[in-house]
Structure 1
């Protein structure tokens, strides 16, 4: 699947379960494991887990190969690795603490 289509698929999966503050970061040339990061907030552990699981389900339906997931059990910060796109779903407190947008030293491309 083309990267732009994958970004759209993931953005829709995030929006479908009401993830908030969705941001797309272009990390090409800054990160060796992915080209883009989609970062979103969930309102609770259950919400973070449900949103991340929806991303996984929609990706599988579309035939996208899942590289891996992390954090679904604790759900403070869930990560879904889809190769060219890595999705971070975080509770607001964790998102503020780790501040991935600043860490990667890039302006958000857009609110996805």
Structure 2
């Protein structure tokens, strides 16, 4: 499955399951462990868990086996690793505290060249 197809499945499932403030971060060129991070806000720990479980099921149905899920019922942040796409499902308070959008929007520092004396 192509990365963009997987990304579309993730976005669609999160939207259908009432995920809030779905944001996709393109992190290609910023990290080597994934291409996209999808952030979504859930209304409760149960909602976060449900969002990630439904995404995992939809991915499996398309032949993409999730690499892992961190966090559980009662967590304020659940991470679903699908390889090229990582889902961060968080409560509003946790999302505001960690501000992943801001963190990953910072560009890599430019290489500086120094003139030889």
Task: Decide: shared fold, TM above 0.5.
Answer: yes
**CA shift at 1:22, angstroms?**
0.3
In the alignment, is residue 81 of structure 1 matched against residue 81 of structure 2?
yes
| Count of residues paired in the alignment | 107
| Equivalent position of 1:12 in the other structure | 12
SS state at 1:104 partner? helix
CA distance in 2 between counterparts of 1:19 and 1:4 reads 20
Asked if 2 retains the 8 angstrom alpha-carbon contact of 1:48 and 1:90, the reply is yes
SS state at 2:89 partner? strand
CA distance in 1 between counterparts of 2:73 and 2:42 reads 15
SS state at 1:79 partner? strand
Structure 1 or 2, whichever has the larger Rg, is: 2
* Superposition pairs of residues 31-110 of structure 1, within 5 angstroms: 31-105=31-105
Structure 2 gaps of 5+ residues are 107-117
Q: What TM-score does the superposition give when structure 2 sets the normalisation length? A: 0.86
Q: Report the aligned-residue RMSD.
A: 1.4
Structure 1 gaps of 5+ residues are 107-112
Q: What TM-score does the superposition give when structure 1 sets the normalisation length? A: 0.90
Moved over 2 A (4+): 72-75
**CA shift at 1:66, angstroms?**
1.0
- Offset from partner CA, 1:17-52 (integer Å, 9 cap, x none): 100000110001111210100100001111111111
Determine which structure has greater relative contact order: mean sequence separation of CA pairs < 8 Å that are 6+ residues apart, divided by chain length. Answer: 1
